């Protein structure tokens, strides 16, 4: 067994390190600061080396005086930021890049201005209660109150961060456990009827991006999933598409995300003949554009983090990456021209899901639909889309009455 390094100790099932910060100038007593929650002895030893270097450089923060802002923005968020090339979200506690950027924005806008200056060890449940009350009253733009959902999101981020502070030995308990955030109700979901979706597809038949619109309509894929496709993801012989990467937006910039929204989001699904034919036509058109551009064709897009994907299915005629927000704007322009009810691009996914569930013939089909949507479980599918099937309860009542009453 490897020899335990100095200053590293086993605490229960985890490891901890102690940093000697010298004698107190007034009392003369030595001050030792503990950092705990490390999973292995090696991880703890590496952390101690880093902390000692910070101390020698004069950059270490006295944990007894560390503010909430210092902890969140200088310690917690940097430790949770994923590195380019990491295999998956959740690796060693890291967040996905999209979630990380969202956390940073929400903390910067909604938490730091109110509680950033409070010492972490003195943060109380009353501080969080006042924070949530203020956000509900005046936290939004033009001093308008934030929605309950946004306040709940802020609470969730703070709760996660304070849990990590407990594990690191910075605070004794997570005071977010003592605070009840507002209840968040699910916003009403809009969707088209199958007839309206069909009208939209007829309207875009001659559009250069017809294959893109078809993928949204016939698979229920998310915007980032469709824009993240490369030609290797499409099996023209087998008639399938594999969803692995996504193209999202972080700080306004197109950003590659190595994994889909969840493990279940990584999936391979069959495509119908019409969609496959549209993809073949799109590939042929792109080959002509590539030939025309010659050396000017941009095959791979390298994002601001250094991630890159080549052979993108959907791009500008010169190979340049299409900003995801541009696709949403195109969608709204098509709606106006076709005089269709205004919905979001993401609502096409809701249209697909509600139509599919309405025509499901049994639980096996519901399971397949859930898998095609990339949900982690059938329960998520039913919970998300049960409200879009208003006739289901009436149909169930009538069917059960026939069984029970023999009518």
The per-residue pLDDT for 162 is 93
The per-residue pLDDT for 57 is 59
pLDDT in tens, 125-139: 999 999 999 998 887
The per-residue pLDDT for 240 is 94
The per-residue pLDDT for 88 is 47
Q: What is the DSSP string of 187-207?
A: PPPP---HHHHHHHHHHTTTS
The per-residue pLDDT for 394 is 61
Residue 313 per-residue DSSP state: S
Domain range 1-60, CATH class: alpha beta
The reply to whether domains 1-60 and 64-185 share a CATH topology is no
The stretches in the chain having pLDDT less than 70 are 1-2, 12-13, 21-31, 36-37, 53-64, 84-93, 184-189, 259-265, 362-363, 386-400, 406-407
Q: pTM for this structure?
A: 0.71
* CATH number of the structural domain 64-185: 1.10.150.130
Which fold is adopted by the domain 195-341? hpI Integrase; Chain A (1.10.443)
Find how far residue 391's CA is from the centre of its chain. Answer: 32
The per-residue pLDDT for 154 is 93
The per-residue pLDDT for 325 is 95
Residue 255: closest CA among 79, 76, 73, 96: 96
**Boundaries of every domain in the chain:** 1-60, 64-185, 195-341
> The tokens of 305 are what?
């983090």
């Amino acid at each position: 067994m490897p020899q335990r390094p100095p200053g590293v100790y086993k605490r229960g099932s985890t490891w901890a390190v102690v940093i000697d910060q010298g004698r107190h100038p007034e009392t003369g007593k030595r001050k030792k600061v503990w950092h705990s929650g490390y999973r292995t002895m090696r991880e703890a030893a590496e952390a101690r080396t880093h902390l000692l270097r910070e101390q020698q450089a004069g950059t270490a923060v006295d944990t007894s005086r560390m503010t909430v802002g210092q902890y969140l923005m200088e310690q917690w968020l940097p430790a949770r930021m994923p590195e380019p090339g990491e295999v998956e979200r959740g690796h060693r506690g890291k967040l996905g890049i999209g979630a990380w950027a969202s956390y940073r924005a929400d903390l910067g806008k909604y938490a730091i201005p109110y509680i950033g200056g409070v010492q972490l060890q003195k943060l109380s449940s009353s501080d969080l209660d006042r924070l949530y009350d203020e956000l509900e009253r005046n936290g939004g733009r033009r001093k308008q109150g934030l929605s309950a959902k946004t306040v709940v999101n802020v609470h969730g981020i703070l709760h996660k961060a304070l849990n990590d502070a407990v594990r690191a030995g910075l605070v004794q308990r997570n005071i977010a456990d003592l605070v009840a955030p507002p209840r968040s109700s699910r916003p009403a979901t809009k969707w088209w009827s199958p007839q309206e979706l069909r009208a939209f597809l007829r309207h875009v038949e001659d559009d250069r991006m017809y294959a893109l619109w078809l993928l949204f309509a016939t698979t229920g894929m998310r915007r980032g999933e469709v824009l993240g496709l490369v030609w290797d993801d499409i099996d023209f012989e087998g008639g399938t598409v594999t969803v692995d990467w996504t193209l999202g937006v972080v700080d306004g910039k197109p950003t590659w995300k190595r994994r889909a929204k969840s493990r279940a989001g990584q999936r391979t699904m069959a495509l119908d003949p019409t969609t496959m034919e549209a993809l073949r036509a799109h590939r042929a058109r792109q080959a002509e554009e590539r030939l025309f551009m010659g050396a000017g064709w941009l095959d791979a897009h390298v994002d601001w983090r250094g991630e890159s994907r080549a052979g993108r299915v959907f791009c500008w005629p010169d190979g340049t990456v299409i900003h995801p927000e541009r696709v949403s704007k195109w969608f709204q322009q098509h709606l106006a021209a076709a005089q269709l009810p205004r919905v979001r691009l993401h609502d096409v996914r809701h249209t697909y899901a509600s139509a599919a569930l309405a025509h499901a013939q049994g639980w096996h089909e519901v399971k397949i639909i859930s898998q095609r949507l990339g949900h982690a479980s059938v329960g998520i599918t039913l919970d998300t889309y049960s409200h879009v099937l208003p006739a289901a309860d009436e149909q169930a009542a009538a069917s059960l009455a026939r069984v029970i009453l023999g009518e």
